[in-house]
Structure 1
Amino acid sequence: MSEKKLSANEGIKTRSNYLRGTIAEGLADLSTGCLSEDDQQLIKFHGSYQQDDRDLRPDRRKHRLEKAYSFMLRIRLPGGVSTSEQWLKTDWLADTFANGTIKLTTRQAFQLHGIIKTNLKRTIKEINDVAMDTIAACGDVNRNVMCNPNPFLSSVHADALQAAKDISAHLTPATRAYHEIWLDGEKVQTSEDDEQEPIYGKTYLPRKFKITIAVPPSNDVDIFANCLSFIAIVEDGKLVGYNVAVGGGMGSTHGNEATYPRIADVIGYCTKEQVVDVAEKVVMVQRDFGDRTDRKHSRFKYTVDDHGPEWILAKLNEYLGYNLEPVREYKFTDNGDRFGWVEDETGDSHYTLFVEGGRVLDTADYPMRTGLREIAKIHDGDFRLTANQNLMIAKISKEKRPQIEALLEKYGMAKSHERSALRLATIACVALPTCALALAEAERFLPEIVTQLEEKLEQVGLRHDSITMRMTGCPNGCGRPFISEIGFVGFGPNRYNVYLGGGHAGQRLSKLYRKDVPASEIKPLLDPILEHYAKERQEGEHFGDFVIRAGYVEKTIQGGDFHKNIKPEAVALQG
């Protein structure tokens, strides 16, 4: 029996000369606003996606014009931390080269949209001029390493953030292609061996790889939804090490039961000195054993499912040359953000701002982007992006706090979080008009759904009760809908699959409740359930737990069981 044929992307990577391809030549071709198909795949490793405005497609087709091509750039921020200078540069780039907005992603990165090809190189150079970059923000490599933006102990956060930075730096591709193409770096002769990429090799990973670090009790980075996660273990106020979780991931494909979301398994414990080594060796296990024949089956979650968590642990120990220790006790209580003012143990203040859909922009009645620009001009702390698409103005000194409070008030941001708890717990991916994979709206539509449901929340007294709600335009799951208590996944234009029953702390998969629901029917579908929850919930019971107990959905467990009917009493509560 012959071996399966490698996926087309494997050939693209092999031929690319360590991610160079013909990107430089494509950028110089002024006859078109796009790049070749192969280079469209390679440019992802450099932090960019080629897109076009789908709202404009019909008119441009009618006039026989090329699609309105542009590029999205994703800026890596390990741990989601940006200096004021970096914020100001990103704000300037948004107006100068992009569409005038900044998108805060669910992975603590900046995204700029609407950059035309002739401005792409200049934009990337400007980003690098303030010690940021876009390399490995996309592509078949480790992507932006996430970290809790505001754990309860600032000293612990400093350690966790440094680990995120160390892992990110260590796993950054070694190829000089990024510097040559975008920063006019000196070209060097490459060979066919793997010395240029000692961790990844010449074909990198089978698919994207995602790493997070969380400090309990907050699971705001959703560790169970990521390929590899580290759960900080704190003893006597000091971070001593991390539990290691492997095999989480959200993506699936409509109608293909061989694809499914999966929550991670916690397999062991490492010291804080071992964390970079463990990250490297897990990546190498995926490099060597991940599926390179079927990209729908190539994420690390399938490698873990195919071989089993015990096999992964044994192989990881083999690669490490030592064994992980047994898992240590931990507990997560939620995965939301703490809005408003918080003071830490150092006396510094932090203000977390609600940013609907993660879109930083000015409107006629809410000049948020201008206000943040004015704050950045005087702020001597930093900005921290949350995994829920919100923004923390962090490390505000006692001296600066009165000025920043005045600016928050002046630009309407002082009461940004005075919204329903449901709205504060929402996430939406970009979806239409720029995402090529989107089947339905997300960022532009979720606020409308929340407004519709708020009427019932007010009636039944649930305005201040947090229920996690997420919407994505397709089943790839960039907004992590499959672990939210209410999830909407685009099925077609103005139609969604509705999921219920995810864990409030992100520890359990949701279950498909209704398939192919027209947008106009979402409110009448959910209103009775919200009313039932208000009347029948037990003390302290979260919505996701209630809908399982009340029989609206059955509990899900790992892997392919996402598509199977599992009775609630058949499995113990995960987490």
Structure 2
Amino acid sequence: MAAAAASLIGTTLVKDNKNSCYSSTYSLLLNKRIHPFSLSTSPPPIRALSTETSVETNKRSKVEIFKEQSNYIRYPLNEELLTDAPNINEAATQLIKFHGSYQQYDRDERGGRSYSFMLRTKNPSGKVSNQLYLAMDDLADQFGIGTLRLTTRQTFQLHGVIKQDLKTVMSTIIRNMGSTLGACGDLNRNVLAPAAPFVRKDYVFAQQTADNIAALLTPQSGFYYDMWVDGEQFMTAEPPEVVKARNDNTHGTNFPDSAEPIYGTQFLPRKFKIAVTVPTDNSVDLFTNDIGVVVVSDDNGEPQGFNIYVGGGMGRTHRMETTFPRLAEPIGYVPKEDILYAVKAIVVTQRENGRRDDRRYSRLKYLLDSWGIEKFRSVTEQYYGKKFEPTRELPEWEFKSHLGWHETGDGLLFCGLHVDSGRVKGITKKTLREIIEKYSLNVRITPNQNIVLCDIRRSWKRPITVALAQGGLLPPTYVDPLNITAMACPALPLCPLAITEAERGIPDLLKRVRGVFEKVGLSYNESVVIRVTGCPNGCARPYMAELGLVGDGPNSYQIWLGGTPAQTSLARTFKNKVKIQDLEKVFEPLFYHWRLDRKAKESFGDFTNRMGFEKLEEIVDKWTGIPKSSSRHYLRIFTDKETYEAVDALAKLENKNAHQLAMEVIRNFVASQQNGKSQ
């Protein structure tokens, strides 16, 4: 493979006698640059091959070797895509991630593996044009499994594409104003921002900033377009401030004369995540990102600069306490004209000092944990060329779903729609297609796996509302509050990392939680943030949930408690290896005592933190059932079988039971009557 790589890259690979391995002198020279300062106080780093000093191969992970020998993420993927095999080899499997795809196989099938590919788009701020949405909808039917999935990073995932169709699908996405470049791999992923299309200055500025950061950190070497559209360029004109910031090497951030001035041949040690938002709006789960950026405005609403937070991340490994989820912490404030330079400096600090020997410890959060914020700030300031100012005081955070009907501020409307686990399928898919196509609507994807219909005229509101209702897409007041904030990763059957169910299991799980709520006397409008993942990597951000379930064995979960509704606190492990059939044994005593012992308006997460895990363990271990004096009796709603079956059929469209739907209708009717009388 090394010899083939040498031929492709156009360089000479020389034998390294010390390691008996191959190293590319070409890649070392390509990345030569002068450091602005010496990191003499740093722990011995695994460098990004940024000097002529060779790095011993046995100190780098296998993926680092693949990247170095790939000719900027081309080889051997370009050759593997031409073979008749349904799959690609190990090196190509790692490289195709940079192009926005993962190789998968159906784990439900027995016998030989049935390989396919998952494609993930890249949509800064979750923006999806009308043209791209319709193209993705078509591709799901023609080349996928007939469904689209909205992700927790505001993108589409398209599952089930076979290798022979990859180029057709990729080129179709590109030619319809879309991209999958950098949606996966060791580089900056999709940049989040609130999905609401408000025309308020701060929201517009946050979304523009997300677009600019995404453009700044987009790969420049052309490998993506070479592979999928034969080198044809579809990149739109970039704002001059983005080009200027990328090319600036005043403080030694760039690799001169490199096809990748920021990334070099090695790109980043691991994936890198960034979110931008405005004060109070934590729809983006700000503190779970490597970099969190918050717009700071003056008293007149004019954006002046940004608070910046660093070091968040969710992934961990079971039974390895040296791996952990972590919240981002403040590094400082920068004026608005400096944001691209500050972000670039943080990325370069991670590029140069993040570990490249063990990918479990390669995220920025581990560098922050090792160095501490003061040292990290000091090093980053060398690349930034300035001191960070103190962060500005901000109001408290809230989770904002942006569901329902809203005015944008320019005479138009938008409508946020809840989609269970982000899976667009069946009648929901058909209905969305018809509405988006008929009214030429653009859409946005939210970080909570929901969809926002944009650019709606007032005269369209009524017919769109009727069409949505006929397709089972009801206003948020008709959706179970538990479902509104719940999230799950895809997990089985396609994710190779999944240990147990998540997306397929969460509908039944939420019904069971609702059943426990009713049993212990909690009202219907009570809610808890529930997130479920099939493994500890945390793709649905379970470590921020009030109740997180993390797969740790077949039909078994870790239970995490202590997150808050605003997603500002980190949950902690409460129970290990709870079998799925035993979950009520934990839920029932916890929810019963939350109802009985909480303070006024105290959330479940705040309650668990105040009580402490030792006390909660005692409550669960000694639980013998709800005291008889606390039992509740419900009126019988249905008097005939026909009515029950009709309501139950409607309820199933919303993932509810007949009792839940009937109670919703009654409560809404009573509320409307009371509101009418008060007027």
TM more than 0.5? yes
Match of 2:159 among 113, 119, 129: 113
**Alignment equivalent of 1:512, drawn from 573, 588, 596:** 573
Cα distance in 2, alignment partners of residues 317 and 521 from structure 1: 51
**Does residue 1:455 correspond to 2:485, yes or no?**
no
Paired residue for 1:164, among 189, 195, 210?
A: 210
Number of aligned positions between the proteins: 539
Paired letter, 1:119: D
Which one of 556, 576, 582 corresponds to residue 495 of structure 1?
A: 556
Cα deviation, residue 359, structure 1: 0.3
Which of the pair has more CA radius of gyration?
A: 2
1:183-233 alpha-carbon deviations (Å, 9 max, x no partner): 11179xxxx986101001110000000000121212111111110110122
Q: 1:159·1:239 contact (CA, 8 Å) conserved in 2?
A: yes
Q: Is there any run of 5+ residues in structure 1 with no aligned partner, and where?
A: 556-575
Distance 1:462 1:550 in 2: 22
2:89 is the alignment partner of 1:36 = yes
Q: Equivalents in 2 of 1:145, 1:554: separation in Å?
A: 40
Alignment equivalent of 1:251, drawn from 315, 337, 351: 315
Point out where structure 2 has 5 or more consecutive residues left out of the alignment: 1-43, 45-54, 234-254, 617-679
* Alpha-carbon displacement from aligned partner over 1:536-569 (angstroms, at most 9, x marks no partner): 22122111110111223699xxxxxxxxxxxxxx
Write out aligned runs for 1:220-231 (5 A): 220-231=283-294
Residue 23 of structure 2 corresponds to which residue in structure 1?
none
Secondary structure of 2:330's match? strand
SS of residue in 1 equivalent to 2:459: coil
Is the CA contact (8 Å cut-off) linking 1:500 and 1:553 kept in structure 2? no
**Counterpart check, 1:338 vs 2:402:** yes
Report the counterpart of residue 275 of structure 1 in structure 2: 339
Q: Distance in 2 between matches of 1:223 and 1:415?
A: 26
**Helix, strand or coil at the partner of 2:415:** strand
Partner residue, 2:131? 85
Q: Structure 1 stretches (4+) deviating beyond 4 angstroms?
A: 1-4
How far off its partner does 1:249 sit? Answer: 0.2
- 1:197 aligned to which of 242, 260, 285: 260
Matches of residues 296-311 of structure 1 in structure 2 within 5 Å?
Answer: 296-311=360-375
| Aligned CA distance change for structure 1 residues 151 and 542 (closer, same or farther; 3 Å) | farther
Q: What is the rounded CA distance, in whole Å, between the counterparts of 1:527 and 1:330 in structure 2?
A: 37
- Secondary structure, counterpart of 2:458 in structure 1: coil
> Greater shift after overlay, 3-12 or 485-494?
3-12
Counterpart of 1:404 in structure 2 is: 464
CA distance change for structure 1 residues 132 and 554 in 2, over 3 Å: closer, same or farther? farther
Cα distance in 2 for residues equivalent to 1:553 and 1:485: 17
Distance 1:134 1:332 in 2: 35
One of 70, 86, 101 as aligned partner of 1:48: 101
Task: Give the secondary-structure state (helix, strand or coil) at the position aligned to 1:302.
Answer: helix
Partner of 1:329: 393
The amino acid of 1:371's aligned partner reads T
Letter of the structure 2 residue corresponding to residue 13 of structure 1: K
> Displacement of 1:336 after TM fit?
4.4
Q: TM-score, normalised by structure 2?
A: 0.77
* 1:86-133, Cα deviation, whole Å (9 max, x unpaired): 111110010011110000000000000000000001000000011110
8 Å CA contact retained: 2:125, 2:210: yes
Given the alignment of the two structures, is residue 241 of structure 1 paired with residue 301 of structure 2, yes or no? Answer: no
Aligned equivalents of 2:443, 2:275: Cα separation in 1? 19
Deviation of residue 404 (structure 1)?
1.8
Letter in 2 for 1:308: G
- The offset of 1:346, in angstroms, is 2.3
Match of 2:280 in 1: 217
| CA gap 1:202/1:330 in 2 versus in 1, 3 angstroms | same
Distance (Å, rounded) in 2 between the aligned partners of 1:417 and 1:219 = 21
Give the 3 Å change call, closer, same or farther, for CA 186–470 of structure 1 in structure 2.
Answer: closer
Conservation of the 8 A alpha-carbon contact between 2:476 and 2:484:
no
Which residue identity lines up with residue 461 of structure 1 in the other structure? L
The CA distance in 2 between the partners of 1:533 and 1:338, in whole Å, is 28
Which of 374, 379, 384 aligns to 2:434? It is 374
> What letter matches 1:432 in structure 2?
L
Residues 1:166 and 1:193: Cα distance change in structure 2 (over 3 Å): closer
**Which digits, 9 at most, give the CA deviation of each residue in 1:478-530, with x for residues without a partner?**
11001111000000110000000112211111111110000011122112211
Q: Distance in 1 between matches of 2:232 and 2:136?
A: 27
Amino acid at match of 2:145: N
Distance in 1 between residues matched to 2:124 and 2:357, nearest whole Å: 31
Q: Which amino acid aligns with 2:502?
A: A
Counterpart mapping for 1:63-82 below 5 A:
65=112, 67-82=113-128
In the TM superposition, what is the alpha-carbon distance from 1:380 to its structure 2 partner?
Answer: 4.2
The one-letter amino acid paired with 1:329 is: E
Match of 1:571 in 2: none
Shift of residue 151, structure 1, vs aligned partner = 7.6
Residues 219 and 332 in structure 1, CA contact (< 8 A), matched pair in contact too: no
User: Structure 1: how far apart are the matches of 2:553 and 2:527?
Assistant: 28
Contact 2:532-2:540 at 8 Å conserved across structures: yes
> Partner of 1:566 in structure 2?
none
More displaced stretch, 374-383 vs 516-525: 374-383
Which AA in structure 2 matches 1:199?
Answer: I
The residue that corresponds to 2:190 in the other structure is: 144
Instruction: Give the SS at the match of 1:399.
Output: helix
1:157, distance to aligned residue in structure 2 (A):
1.6
1:12 to 56, 66, 72: 66
Is it true that 1:347 corresponds to 2:393 in the alignment? no
Tell me if structure 2 keeps the 8 A contact 1:339–1:417.
no
Secondary structure of the corresponding residue to residue 28 of structure 1: coil
Letter of the 1:122 partner, please give it.
T
1:547·1:553 contact (CA, 8 Å) conserved in 2?
A: no
Alignment RMSD, CA only? 2.0
TM-score (norm 1): 0.90
Q: Output the amino acid matched with 2:159.
A: H
Instruction: Confirm or deny that 1:445 pairs with 2:491.
Output: no
CA distance in 1 between partners of 2:171 and 2:584 (Å): 46
